[in-house]
Amino acid sequence: MPRPTLRLLAAAAMLTLAACVPSTGSPSAGPTSPTIATAAPTTTPPASADVRATIKVLDFKLEPSTLTVSGATLALAVSNGGPTIHNVTVRDAAGNVLFGTKDLREAESETVTHALPPGTYVLFCSLPGHESLGIKGTLTVTAP
């Protein structure tokens, strides 16, 4: 291999390594500095919950299918006990989706916290066809 090519490869390797090492100095204000944009969250979950409820989503049902809680802020702990990917989503009486878990694989779990006024809500898996197959229930929130 000719020497100029070897020097170019060595220089390229050094630049690659230098790009992977975080800078400890002050950031450059020049036009070559990358700008990283971060999106602001669309909702901020409540810091703590008044009440905690647990629900297991299975193929064709929620366990339990009916929950009644008393409090203003609910922490809903959801686990997937079925072999199929599921989630648990909450919508109000008008059909508006309020919040829900991410899609959970078998044995995965997630706790979502949300403020809810007293009322009756629908719990369901929002994946296509899952609600109509029976993965639905009722959440009733009463005033504390």
The CATH number covering residue 55 comes to: 2.60.40.420
At 47 the pLDDT is 56
Q: What angle do CA 82, 91, 58 make, to 5 degrees?
A: 10
Q: Among all chains, which residue has been given the structure tokens 């919508």? A: 91
- The answer, yes or no, to whether the previous bond of 64 is cis (omega within 30 of 0) is yes
Please, which pLDDT band fits residue 132 given cuts at 50, 70 and 90? very high
Q: Is residue 72 part of a domain?
A: yes
Backbone angles phi, psi at 85, to 5 degrees: -65, 135
Please, which pLDDT band fits residue 11 given cuts at 50, 70 and 90? very low
Which of 64-68, 134-138, 140-144 is predicted least confidently? 140-144
Structural domain for 58, as ranges: 51-142
Q: Is residue 66 part of a domain?
A: yes
At 144 the pLDDT is 85
**Cα torsion at 116, 121, 127, 133 (round to 10°)?**
160
Please report, for residues 14, 41, 58, 135, 140, the alpha-carbon distance to residue 83 in angstroms, rounded to integers and kept in the order given: 48, 32, 8, 14, 28
pLDDT tens sequence across 16-60: 333 333 334 433 443 433 333 333 333 334 458 899 999 999 999
Q: Is residue 20 part of a domain?
A: no
Q: Is residue 103 part of a domain?
A: yes
Q: Domain tally for the chain?
A: 1
Please, which pLDDT band fits residue 71 given cuts at 50, 70 and 90? very high
Q: Is residue 69 part of a domain?
A: yes
Average pLDDT score over the chain: 78
Q: Is residue 8 part of a domain?
A: no
Mean pLDDT, range 105-126, rounded to an integer = 97
Q: Is residue 24 part of a domain?
A: no
Q: Is residue 17 part of a domain?
A: no
pTM to 2 decimals?
0.67
Token pair listed for 142: 């009463």
Mean pLDDT, range 123-139, rounded to an integer = 97
Q: Would you tell me how many other CB atoms lie within 10 Å of the CB of residue 81? A: 15
108: left (phi over 0), alpha (psi -120 to 50) or beta: beta
